[in-house]
Amino acid sequence: MATAHSRSAARIMISPAVILLLGWMLIPLSMTLYFSFLRYNLLMPGTHDWAGFLNYRFFLTDPAFFAALKNTLILVGGVLAITIVGGVLLAILLDQPMWGQGIVRILVIAPFFVMPTVGALVWKNMFMNPVNGLFASLAKGIGMQPFDFLGEAPLASIILMVAWQWLPFATLILLTALQSLDSDQLEAAEMDGAGPLSRFFHIMLPHLARAITVVVLIQTIFLLSVFAEILVTTNGGPGYATTNITYLVYAQSLLQFDVGGGSAGGIVAVILANIVAIFLMRMIGKNLDI
């Protein structure tokens, strides 16, 4: 059906998008790669000496890097654990017959639409503040000492904030997947005397496996780059307690003006993200038939 004429027209139609994305990916990324081999600090204009792998050596042996790597893994892992377990349970709950299902759905999904800086500041000040926060009021109300969330357990507090924002996403996708489950199958299992637990583990969970994998991969891509929540609540502190890789690279480049070191960190972040991206791309590619 496609003629040579329509093929060349198609090529013209697609070229602006390809050229823009190519430029957006290649030019800055190769610049980052190039900078990462230079001794280049914005506070010392003029010095662009070749540094070889020095920046990488400094970045990868810096205790801050290990702290940031550990925090990144804990942050991603913690949020994934909460959102997957919570998302599966919520999806199953929302799939049950009930009154006002549409409204409950809206309530559950809402946090996903709250901008990260708003969500983080509301949690930090109005809930977690040890003096004026709502949690402190509740604690005092039942005669307990208020807990200083961001002081005593900063990373856990940020995990809670981020999980609150991503729980709706996991729930929504798992609910979509659950609704495609054949209800005859569940009924047949019930007839055969399978209890709710065995129905969950033998029918629902296998059916959801694919959706869970997709949620894990997509969330990981976004969670590796958590930034605003850290910037407005803890600035990466106390010490390096809440610094993740993204925040570390930001601090090194735009706060310490160390272009070389920051670039090396940026390349490390790209490599980490790519490890996840390869799996995600493979899953998406399998589903795409042209």
Partner 1 sequence: MARNVTKNRKLAMTVLAWAIGILIFFPILWTILTSFKTEAEAIASPPSFLFFDWTLDNYREVQERSNYFRHFSNSVIISLGSTILGLAIAIPAAWSMAFVPGRRTKDVLMWMLSTKMLPPVGVLIPIYLIFRDTGLLDTLTGLTIVLMLINLPIIIWMLFTYFREIPGEILEAARMDGAGLKAEIIHVLTPMAVPGIASTLLLNIILAWNEAFWTLNLTAAKAAPLTAFIASYSSPEGLFYAKLSAASTMAIAPILILGWFSQKQLVRGLTFGAVK
Q: Return the residues of window 156-175 that contact partner 1 according to CB under 8 A.
A: 164, 167-169, 172-173
Helices marked H in the chain: 4-35, 54-61, 63-94, 101-109, 116-121, 134-141, 149-152, 154-179, 183-191, 196-199, 205-223, 228-233, 245-250, 259-287
Angle at 137 between CA 132 and CA 138, to 5 degrees: 150
- 125 touching partner 1, by CB under 8 A: yes
Torsion sign (Cα): 126, 112, 108, 203? negative
Q: Please choose, out of 47-55, 63-71, 134-142, 183-191, the segment that lies near partner 1 by the rule CB under 8 A.
A: 134-142
Residue of the chain from 47, 81, 140, 151 that contacts partner 1 (CB under 8 A): 140
Q: Please choose, out of 47-55, 60-68, 130-138, 199-207, the segment that lies near partner 1 by the rule CB under 8 A.
A: 130-138
- 144 touching partner 1, by CB under 8 A: no
According to DSSP, the residues that pair with 41 across neighbouring strands are: 258
Q: Which residues contact 27 (CB under 8 A, 6 or more apart)?
A: none
Residue of the chain from 35, 149, 166, 240 that contacts partner 1 (CB under 8 A): 35
- 72 touching partner 1, by CB under 8 A: no
Residues contacting partner 1: total by CB under 8 A = 109
CB of 149 to partner 1, least distance (A): 14
- 65 touching partner 1, by CB under 8 A: no
Does residue 284 contact residue 217 with C-beta atoms inside 8 Å?
no
Does residue 111 contact residue 172 with C-beta atoms inside 8 Å?
no
**What is the pattern of x (binds partner 1, CB under 8 A) and - over residues 230-269?**
-xxx-----------xx--xx--xx----x--xx-xxx-x
Q: Which is nearer to partner 1, 67 or 224 (CB)?
A: 224
Does residue 257 contact residue 41 with C-beta atoms inside 8 Å?
yes
CB of 190 to partner 1, least distance (A): 13
